[in-house]
Amino acid sequence: MIIQIYAFTKVNEAVAAVEMGVDNIGFIAGKYDQVYAELSFEECREMVRAIPPQGTSTAITMSVDVDEILRMAEFVEPDIVHISSEVDMVNMDAMRTIRERMSPDILLMKAISVEDQSSVEVAKQYAQVSDLLLLDTSAKGFPGVGATGFTHDWNVSKQIVEGVDIPVILAGGLSAANVAKAMEVVKPWGVDSNTSTNIEGSRVEKDLKRIEEFIKAVKSSPLYEPGRGLKK
């Protein structure tokens, strides 16, 4: 079970989070004026290089341009590239191209919007062209998939986990209060928190106390198994 936290903007907070027990440090790569907490490629590369060796870096991109995504991956050199757009914006052919042209040392993760039973088939399709899947929640007025703070039907996510043969990270409104239950229902490879680990009222500042509480909630679950992360 891995713990992933988005979206860091400060290097010192990212380093502190890894030292507390976070496995994957997520950040938004590229300033496209679409969402809060966007970082320049230079800032992202600085964060990647500062993350302690036991942690991994995940660069989420809001871009839908294949060449731009590849340029980011080459410059930033994260462990994981997270494609956050809706599936009709970066389709399977585009995913194949990214996977073929991107460094084999970088894993490719696709966000899947969990809505209803149709999401299961979409996830199965994208599992063929991805190294990992992230199951998240979409909402009107929010670009891409995720960062809404809303949960979705975990029973659908459970079906996806059972139906694909690649690691799946569960996201979407997870907090210290509900993550253990989500783990019990879905049994994902990893869990993700974004909005619930921010400072109250802030869209960009992380709250290390809330991160600590999230970590404790995950590790207190009988389903938690240490040592299954990318660098464990």
Beta strands in the chain (DSSP E): 2-5, 24-29, 38-39, 56-61, 80-83, 107-113, 132-136, 168-170, 190-193
pLDDT tens readout for residues 119-159: 999 999 999 999 999 998 865 454 455 555 667 799 999 99
Query: Is residue 3 within 8 Å of residue 215, measured between CB atoms?
Result: yes
CB-based contact 71:43 (threshold 8 Å): no
Say what percent of the chain tops pLDDT 70: 92
pTM of the model: 0.92
Q: Where in 165-214 does DSSP place strands (E)? A: 168-170, 190-193
Q: Which domains does the chain have, with CATH numbers?
A: 2-219 (3.20.20.70)
Tell me what the mean pLDDT of segment 155-171 comes to: 97
For residue range 66-122, what is the model confidence (pLDDT) as tens digits? 999 999 999 999 999 999 887 888 999 999 999 999 999 999 999 999 988 999 999
Q: What is the mean pLDDT of residues 161-168?
A: 97
Chain length of the chain: 232
Q: How confident is the model at residue 36 (pLDDT cuts 50, 70, 90)?
A: confident
